[in-house]
Amino acid sequence: MSGFSGESEQKDYVQYHKYFVQVEELITNEKFIEAESKLDTLFENYQVKFAKDYLIAGQVSLINEHKSKSIEHLRNALRMGVKIECLKSIKLLKDKINELEWRSLKNEERLFRKDYLKSIDLELYKEFHKRYRNEQDSKGTDRYKSVVHSNFYRIKHFIELDSFVGENLIGLDNKTLAKSISDCGCGNSKIIVTLLHYDYPISEIGEERLISEIKKGNLHPREFATIYNFERNRVSVLYKESNKKYEELPKYEFNFPFGEKETDIERVNSDRQKIGICKYEVDKKKKEVSQKYGIKLNFGYR
């Protein structure tokens, strides 16, 4: 398979996402056998860095009536910190997996979770959930700006140490530690939300540095595109009183929430493809296919 060589740690995860985009297009075209085959190839060649990809693979295999393979994908999702309640919230899984299989998964989850918590930095896991909680609680108060800035500089500190606080380091979002966060988004909102709220995060961190984190598998391209749209359109309330002066960001058209939508869809798809985001029309079809098959394709900012 072209572009797949060397150890996964050295691989460019933009290429991983570009390949995953092909999977998403096959899913929205209801070509599930082909999608499963591509996922097999992808997972053989790359270490999976985003738990939600195992969840998507598990659903595809189940649609194809490859139940044992589906359950193994779901086990891998549990190993990466996904809670079994989140599996049960997906209609297809709830309908097709029997009670005995759920009990077995539940028993395995206890062991998987112990190993998962050992695999991440627990102190940072707790710290960034606490920071997220504090940021949410400070909205609309005089301390909001200082809280967001403190959280941002803490994130930036780790980026400068070449240790991005991504899912692999600080784990998935956990509602038990921050009640307003979503367990089943299978994401890293505790970091991404600060990068949305801060004024000029890309300008201060550097676009190339964030693209580098996508390449390393620490930042999802959809997360980057959301952060980009928030900065380009000055969405955060902190821009209203910001005196910072930066050059405009390079102009990309992702057609993500906020800002005017680009009507040149070829341009949109070209910009999306560069960093590994599916075509605009594929995104639009996801909801229809998800409803038809009782599956989940969208996860938080990913």
Note whether residue 68 is domain-resident: yes
Q: Which residues of 174-212 are buried (b: 16+ CB within 10 A; e: fewer)?
A: beebbeebbbbbbbbbbbbbbbbbbbbbbeebeeebbbe
The structure's pTM equals 0.95
Q: Which domain holds residue 224?
A: 122-277
Note whether residue 20 is domain-resident: yes
For residue 258, the model assigns a pLDDT of 87
Note whether residue 286 is domain-resident: no
Tell the burial category of 114 from Cβ atoms under 10 Å away from its Cβ (0-12, 13-18, 19+).
exposed
Q: How far, in Å, CA of 107 to CA of 71, rounded?
A: 14
How far, in Å, are 15, 40, 48, 101, 214 from residue 10 at the CA level?
Answer: 12, 20, 13, 37, 13
Note whether residue 293 is domain-resident: no
Sorted by sequence, the CB contacts under 8 Å of residue 257 that are 6+ apart come out as 226, 229
Residue 45: both structure tokens together = 């060649």
Note whether residue 199 is domain-resident: yes
Residues 241 and 142 in one domain: yes
Residues 40 and 172 in one domain: no
For residue 168, the model assigns a pLDDT of 95
Residue type at position 96: K
Q: How many domains does the chain have?
A: 2
285 in helix, strand or coil? helix
Residues 144 and 64 in one domain: no
**CATH number, domain with residue 53:** 1.25.40
- Final residue of a structural domain among 89, 104, 119: 119
Q: Counting every residue, how long is the chain?
A: 302
Per-residue pLDDT of the chain (302 residues), as tens digits, is 444 444 444 789 999 999 999 999 999 999 999 999 999 999 999 999 999 999 999 999 999 999 999 999 999 999 999 999 999 999 999 999 999 999 999 999 999 999 999 999 999 999 999 999 999 999 999 999 999 999 999 999 999 999 999 999 999 999 999 999 999 999 999 999 999 999 999 999 999 999 999 999 999 999 999 999 999 999 999 999 999 999 999 999 999 988 899 999 999 999 999 999 999 999 999 999 999 999 999 999 99
Residues 128 and 190 in one domain: yes
